[in-house]
Amino acid sequence: MKKLLILLLAVVAVQLNAQDLKHYKRIVKELSSAKYQGRGYALGGANKAGAYLEKEFRKAGADEVICQPFKLNVNTFPGKMEFTVDGRKLRPGVDFTVREFSPGIKGTFKLYHIDTLNYNSEQIFADLASPEYQNAFVVCDFWYSYKHREDFQRLQSKDGCSNAGVIFTWKDPLLKFYKAYADRLMNKPVLWTTDALTAEDKSITLDIENRMLNDYECFNVIAKVEGQRHDSCFVFTAHYDHLGNLGRKVYYAGAHDNASGTAAIVTLAAYYAQNRPEYDIYFVAFSGEDAYLRGSEWYAANPTVDLKQIRYLLNLDMIGDNNPVLYCEASNPGMRGFELFESLNAEKGYFKSLNRGKLAGNSDHYPFAQRGVPCIFLENEGGDAFKYYHTTFDTWQNALFDSYEPLFRMVVDFVEQY
pLDDT for the residue numbered 8: 42
pLDDT of residue 19: 57
Q: pLDDT value at position 16?
A: 44
Strands 325-330, 310-316: pairing is unpaired
Domain ranges of the chain: 21-73+214-417, 81-208
Domain 21-73+214-417 identical in fold to domain 81-208:
no
- How many CB atoms are closer than 10 A to CB 95? 19
- Walking along the chain (418 residues) 10 residues at a time, the average pLDDT comes out as 44 49 98 98 97 98 98 98 97 98 98 96 96 96 95 94 97 95 97 97 98 98 98 98 98 98 98 98 98 98 98 98 98 98 98 98 98 98 96 97 97 98
Residues 150, 213, 92, 128, CA torsion sign: negative
Q: Count CA atoms closer than 13 A to 275's CA, side-chain side.
A: 11
The CATH topology of domain 81-208 is Glucose Oxidase; domain 1 (3.50.30)
Closest CA to 87 of 10, 200, 226: 200
Give residue-wise pLDDT tens across range 24-66. Answer: 999 999 999 999 999 999 999 999 999 999 999 999 999 999 9
From CA 51, how far away is CA 48, in angstroms rounded? 5
Question: Tell me: the pLDDT tens digits for 391-405?
Answer: 999 999 999 999 999
Largest Cα–Cα separation, the chain: 92
What is d(CA 330, CA 399) in angstroms, rounded to the nearest whole number? 26
Give the Cα separation of 219 and 234 in Å (integer): 21
CA neighbor of 304 nearest in space, from 316, 312, 296, 315: 296
CATH classification (class only), 21-73+214-417: alpha beta
Among residues 366, 83, 394, 79, which one has the least CA distance to residue 259?
394
Contacts of residue 353, Cβ cutoff 8 Å, sequence gap at least 6? 324, 325, 326, 345
Note whether 321 and 400 are within 8 A (CB). Answer: yes
pLDDT at residue 7 in the model: 43
